[in-house]
């Protein structure tokens, strides 16, 4: 265990790596204008979704130590997250001027070049990453998309397949539970970070109506909106269906309904079973504090709670529809609506 009284950058790094953001920030803040401490505190603020503060801290770090490639790369990532892509490109180029083989900066730059339609430059940047790191999964995915959009389907298929397998192996975690003989999977890391952001932006833009009831014949107690027929969301629904088919090998499904649930303090859900063969639930919110509630609770056939799932951002729940369950609504002190994508799947096997 790190000693919380030792104010050093190394100790702050150890706290950050353990996920202890409070102590990481406390230690880094006590080191004044040390450029490493400012950089690390900026990383903490990114984890806390305080990106404006992170930009200021990265800028202060660079003012004291100009041209540091890793600070410039993290500055670029933060600008990219905020949609300030032109500034992000400048930051990544500055990082690469100092360290030409910095893989993270090259991959991020290649993604932005791809999104801007600069396919030749994107291919150059991404190939440079793979020269140094042949198994860099995210780079394979972006380069595969470059190949796909420039008329090279065979090369695209190969790279996208390799990248998806490697990315999932590196980042995904799956926990399996059995409730009254029926399987439930909690999946983290299945959804790429770029899709997490894009799906959240789409969901927040929808027009919700109060029409959801957990049980037939009840008055609506929460709101929802149907999934729009956009390329992003159609691809996302297909990805969720693919996750279900991967977790239930040998079974195939077709979508019955895909929609976004919207609940706030004062709404209500009841214990119920779904009519679908399999239900996939995806937690949309980019930030969710433990005290905000919103857990999904699964019950055995005797109505005894067996599994409680926190609404962690980007998390998937894949379960047999016949498991008794209930969604919880946000707590009184939560100012956010709880957003979940629900996909109901029918069996075709």
User: Mean pLDDT, the chain, as a whole number?
Assistant: 89
Q: What is the pLDDT of residue 168?
A: 61
Name the CATH architecture for the domain at 9-170.
Alpha Horseshoe (1.25)
Decide if pLDDT at 194 tops 90: no
Average pLDDT over residues 36-55: 90
On whether the CB atoms of residues 319 and 185 are closer than 8 A, the answer is: yes
Give CB contacts under 8 A, 24+ apart, made by 225-231: 225/259, 225/260, 225/262, 226/258, 226/259, 226/260, 227/258, 227/259, 227/260, 227/341, 228/202, 230/202
Average pLDDT over residues 296-318: 94
- Predicted confidence band at 236 (pLDDT cuts at 50, 70, 90)? very high
Task: Please name the residue ranges forming H helices in 65-217.
Answer: 69-81, 85-98, 103-115, 119-132, 137-149, 153-171, 193-204
The residues, ordered by sequence, that sit 6+ positions from 317 with a Cβ below 8 Å of its Cβ are 184, 185, 186, 187, 279, 280, 281, 282, 296, 309
DSSP secondary structure letter of residue 292:
G
Decide if pLDDT at 6 tops 70: no
Decide if pLDDT at 161 tops 80: no
Domains of the chain, residue spans = 9-170, 173-347
Q: Is the alpha carbon torsion for 63, 68, 69, 73 positive or negative?
A: negative
Residue 179 in tokens: 């409730």
- Predicted confidence band at 165 (pLDDT cuts at 50, 70, 90)? low
- Predicted confidence band at 316 (pLDDT cuts at 50, 70, 90)? very high
Cα–Cα distance for residue pair 105/69, rounded to 1 Å:
9
- Looking at the chain, the whole-number percentage of residues with pLDDT higher than 70 is 95
Decide if pLDDT at 315 tops 50: yes
Decide if pLDDT at 3 tops 50: no
Average pLDDT over residues 287-300: 92
- Predicted confidence band at 7 (pLDDT cuts at 50, 70, 90)? low
What are 58-115's pLDDT values in tens digits?
Answer: 999 999 999 999 999 999 999 998 889 999 999 999 999 999 999 999 999 999 999 8
What are 131-148's pLDDT values in tens digits?
Answer: 999 988 889 988 989 998
Q: What is the pLDDT of residue 222?
A: 84
Decide if pLDDT at 2 tops 60: no
Q: What is 173-347's CATH topology?
A: Jelly Rolls (2.60.120)
């Amino acid at each position: 265990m790190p000693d919380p009284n030792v104010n050093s950058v190394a100790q702050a790094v150890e706290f950050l790596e353990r996920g202890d953001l409070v102590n990481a920030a406390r230690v880094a803040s006590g080191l004044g204008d040390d450029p490493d401490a400012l950089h690390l505190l900026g990383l903490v603020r990114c984890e806390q979704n305080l990106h404006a503060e992170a930009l200021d801290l990265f800028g202060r770090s660079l003012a004291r130590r100009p041209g540091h490639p890793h600070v410039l790369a993290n500055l670029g990532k933060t600008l990219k997250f905020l949609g300030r892509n032109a500034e992000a490109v400048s930051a990544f180029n500055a990082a690469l001027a100092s360290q030409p083989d910095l893989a993270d900066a090259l991959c991020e730059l290649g993604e932005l070049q791809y999104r801007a339609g600069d396919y030749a430059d994107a291919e150059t940047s991404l190939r440079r990453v793979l020269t140094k790191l042949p198994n860099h999964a995210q780079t394979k995915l972006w380069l595969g998309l470059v190949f796909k959009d420039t008329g090279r389907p065979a090369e695209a298929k190969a790279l996208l397949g390799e990248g998806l397998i490697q990315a999932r192996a590196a980042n995904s975690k799956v926990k399996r539970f059995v409730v009254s003989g029926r399987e439930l999977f909690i999946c983290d890391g299945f959804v790429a970070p770029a899709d997490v952001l894009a799906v959240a932006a789409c969901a927040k833009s929808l027009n919700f109506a109060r029409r959801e009831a957990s049980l037939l014949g009840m008055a609506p107690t929460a709101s929802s909106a149907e999934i729009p027929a956009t390329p992003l969301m159609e691809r996302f629904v297909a990805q969720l269906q693919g996750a279900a088919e991967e977790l239930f090998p040998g079974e195939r499904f077709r979508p019955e309904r895909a929609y976004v649930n919207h609940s706030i303090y004062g709404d209500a859900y009841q214990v119920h079973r779904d009519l679908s063969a399999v239900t996939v639930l995806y937690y949309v919110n980019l930030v969710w504090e433990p005290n905000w509630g919103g857990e999904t609770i699964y019950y055995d056939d005797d109505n005894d709670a067996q599994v409680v799932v926190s609404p962690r951002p980007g998390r998937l729940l894949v379960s047999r529809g016949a498991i008794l369950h209930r969604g919880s609504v946000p707590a009184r002190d939560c100012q956010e609506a709880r957003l979940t994508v629900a996909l109901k799947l029918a069996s075709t096997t």
